[in-house]
Amino acid sequence: MSKVQLFRSDDVGAPQLTSSMGSLISLLDACLLAPAATAATGTATSGQGFFNKVTTMTRADAVIVAGVRTNQVKYTFSSPHGFRKYQTIFARASAANASFTGGGRIVAANSLSVTVELMGVPSSDFIIADANAVAYVMGAMWIKGEAGINTAAYHSWVSTDGGNLPCSLSVDDTYGTYAKVRGFETMLSPITGDGMFPTLAQQANYAIPKNVDATTPAPWILLVDGTMFYLFTSTYPNVRIFQGFVFGYPKTRMAADEYGCVIHAMPAANATWSGGLFMNSGLNNASYPLYYARGISQIGGSVPSYAYGNGICGFGNGSEAFPSPIDNGLNVAPVYLYSSGFRSILKGCLQPLHNMPLYGGGFYDGLTDYPNQNVIAIPTSAGYTSPQSGEVHFIIDGSW
């Protein structure tokens, strides 16, 4: 399973979410797709599968601890690079030395260097980069199966339990301030296909709100692994209060779940939003369903599902004091999806059991039940201009 990747609207070079047609497609292209084939040589421009290309790398050093070379590499640049901690980047230190080439999560950064965890251990201690050295933020290696004018269909690169092509997300970004979305088992065009979920009878309109402002970009956060992603948008510019969209395969509790793909969006065709799964009353609430491609029998069509956490509260409106009087820490619970039983776990998603313990959002670690895991807290609300009233947390390390 691929590693979790985090993208944010205030990353250097990140695509901007505006009310222009196609801006959501550009965002998804940059964050979800495999980088263009020429990116590794530094000849491509920002766009599909990558952004913030930096060509001022001067040195790559293996990180050595107690005399032992680790899987971490420190890349040094001659000018500020714009990368930051938790981003996943691809770096090519030298055409002649592949041991310093590869993608990894940034674990430390300052203005002129970053330390990255690679998949393997370099075979040498350091190398001076050559003229082809390049580093850039790397997309998540998903696939764009169909494309049109401001329309597209995306699916993960991981095969289903039956070895088949995964379900696809269809995005119709021709409406400006919002984009219509659906899931399909198979695509016939960017916006049509077989096995639609939800069906039109279940949801006449299903959309991702983008931006209510014609000129100012709106904040967004995207988290993704090999089979699932979450996109949080704040359609009111300069107000970092979010509501979320979900697409992909949660962690099933079934032996095989060929059609265990889910989607959650807003049941309205406009740029504003009210309610949603990730507000403080979105859990244990039949008003804010997700939809599976099929039920647990794996036959038939789309079925609704509901998210359940710890029943004492919703997302971030718990009554337990923070820090906890039990262990002076922060307590969270996993989130389950119910479909004829507790079918899946919403991967990476955590329900804080306190009242907005990281008000305004932020990063933390040190959870008792999730040791050595970094977590991002995302502020949510019940409406696009409402103040923060909830909070959802996501693990951003390793694999979900």
Residue 58 inside a domain? The answer is yes
| Residue from 192, 200, 251, 189 nearest 225 by CA | 251
Per-residue pLDDT at 158: 82
Strands 303-308 and 290-292: antiparallel
| Residue from 130, 142, 146 nearest 48 by CA | 142
- For residues 234 and 350, membership in a common domain is answered with yes
Domains contained in the chain, number: 2
Q: Which residues of the chain have pLDDT under 70?
A: 1, 36-47, 95-97
Residue 143 inside a domain? The answer is no
Structural contact between residues 196 and 302, judged by C-beta atoms closer than 8 angstroms: yes
Q: Show the domain range for 89.
A: 39-138
Per-residue pLDDT at 35: 79
Cα gap 184→208, rounded to integer Å:
16
- For residues 116 and 226, membership in a common domain is answered with no
Per-residue pLDDT at 382: 82
Residue 345 inside a domain? The answer is yes
Q: For residue 213, is it left (φ>0), alpha (ψ between -120 and 50) or beta?
A: beta
Residue 248 inside a domain? The answer is yes
Q: For residue 29, is it left (φ>0), alpha (ψ between -120 and 50) or beta?
A: alpha
Place of tokens 């065009």: 189
- For residues 289 and 389, membership in a common domain is answered with yes
- Cα 61–chain centre separation: 30
Residue 75: CATH number of its domain: 2.40.30
- For residues 242 and 329, membership in a common domain is answered with yes
Per-residue pLDDT at 240: 84
Per the structure block, which two tokens stand in for 6?
């985090």
Per the structure block, which two tokens stand in for 340?
């004829």
| Residue from 43, 18, 46 nearest 139 by CA | 46
- For residues 221 and 369, membership in a common domain is answered with yes
What's the burial of 160, exposed, middle or buried (CB within 10 Å: 0-12/13-18/19+)? buried
Per-residue pLDDT at 169: 98
Q: Which residues contact 32 (CB under 8 A, 6 or more apart)?
A: 49, 139, 140, 142, 144, 154, 224, 229
Name the DSSP class of 133.
-
